[in-house]
A and B are shown apart, each in its own frame.
Chain A
Amino acid sequence: MRFILMMTGTRANWDEYAKWSKEDLEQNVAFMRAFGKELKDSGVFVATEGLGWPGEAKMVRAGKNGEAITDGVFPESKEFLAGYWIIDVESPEQAYKIAARASAAPGPGGKPGGIPIEVRQVLSGHADLGL
């Protein structure tokens, strides 16, 4: 079963992150690199990416002629995806355990961040929709 583990945050969370000290950032990055290696070594790793700042996000809708309209405004409360991992595991419980590891990534002062990680199953294709 494939699952996606998603880290999200509001603009306020991103603003706080921007104030982290160099040491705190380095510690967090070191954790993420080691965590990625751990996933690869245990054979569950599929993909991981980190996303750019919410200030550069655009919301696009198709106009009448199919043109891209990008005038969307995001509410303050919107949660932006910060990054994700896709893993291939045997059970949802295994995915939750791995999500908990990600949630324990060090934050300011090296303390576990406790960031909530949303866990969702990744569908294999249209067959999962009965098509």
Chain B
Amino acid sequence: MPVTDGVFPESKEFLLGYWIVDVATPERACAIAGRISAAPGPGGMPTNVPIEVRGFASYPEPES
């Protein structure tokens, strides 16, 4: 059976959410990420939360 002890270091960054976008360039993806980072937080101020931008690999599709 799997081990499910789930101990994470205090410093671990947990994924909160993500968006998948299909764009022509990495720059366009980063511009969109900048918009997300500007989402309002407490008092309506931009959160400036860092958004990690990654490309997709050409990974094998599941057999159908």
A89 at the binding interface (Cβ < 8 Å): no
Q: For A115, list chain B residues within 8 Å (CB).
A: none
How many A-B pairs with Cβ below 8 Å?
A: 108
Chain A contributes a number of interface residues (CB within 8 A of B) equal to 44
B21 at the binding interface (Cβ < 8 Å): no
Chain B contributes a number of interface residues (CB within 8 A of A) equal to 33
B23 at the binding interface (Cβ < 8 Å): no
Secondary structure call for the A interface: mixed
A1 at the binding interface (Cβ < 8 Å): no
Interface residues of B in 22-43 (CB under 8 A from A): 26, 30-31, 33-35, 37-38
**What residue of chain B has the Cβ atom nearest to residue A45's Cβ?**
B62
